[in-house]
Structure 1
Amino acid sequence: MVKYCMSLSDEKKETAIKIALESKGNVRKRKIAVPLLMILGIVIIFSSIFLIINSPAILWYVYMVIGIVCLLLAFNAKSFQKFVLKKAELLLDKSFRTGIVEYHFDAEGIETISQMGYSKNYWTAFKEYGTMGQYIYVKRKDNKMVLIDKNDLSTGELEELTQLLLNNVKM
């Protein structure tokens, strides 16, 4: 059994956001959204130019603004996604964003103990694990994440944790 105690710091929250941004689902969303937003932005801007030429109505101004916003979103899709993730994290109750969380890794799964309560997740609840920098992350099927700082573990604990993850969760 590996016991790991983590204090929720801003650095760990940033790392969790980076991992979420690089997940397959978010990368796929950006790959779809960027070309669509670019095409939409260009079409709307050309529509506004057409309205300027053919109509005295002020509607062209609205079209131009919407087109520019679409292009800006296309060029800054990752930054926008990061902003949304940070905003969602800030909307959580403060008790979820602060304090100390203790994890127990064993042959059955991962126990989580915090000021909010206790939970036990069996290995079948996890879909993947990986590393980013000095962190190991384990993702549940509902995309919730367990974040472990390798530097906080001894060599023996790190080897035992790695073996548990290799045996029970796909990478």
Structure 2
Amino acid sequence: MSSPPESQPSGMLLLREIPALPGGWASAMFGMVLAETLAEVSVARCRLYVLVDLVRPAADPPVAGALVEMGPPAREARLRALSVDRAHRGRGLDRRLLGDLLTELRADGVQRVRYRVVGTDTAVCTLLRSAGFVLEDENPAVTCRYDGAAIEAPAVAWLMREL
């Protein structure tokens, strides 16, 4: 029996929860988002969920992953990042990862998942909307005042899904 090509996952994928620690493949997969998250919240509240290919050696990096911040408030999670390894993109692993992740979070008692929308996240927003996420606030624009002049601040919007 021959092993699958290097760029093709075998289809024997498993979602695993691992500690969110900086360094190695986790830093390569999530970049600055991991460092920023760990600077803002404790490691105890951060979780990495990864899709691993059971056919490959255990030392191989995961094919996809999600960085999640758990509460507060209780029973709420904030999705910080989704990532699929470049060699495995275009195969629907983002949908598989998100579906498995939502199932796992629901089993852990999470009732709401939120994602902060950033203007460059169009692909992630499309994926999340297709999975049932909706805008939490229909009018997210914020206007600030500085020295009497109105300044439009960048809009902060949240996509949210009840589980």
> If the length of structure 2 is used for normalisation, what is the TM-score?
0.23
Q: Which has the larger helix fraction?
A: 1
Q: Which has the larger strand fraction?
A: 2
Query: Higher Cα Rg: structure 1 or 2?
Result: 1
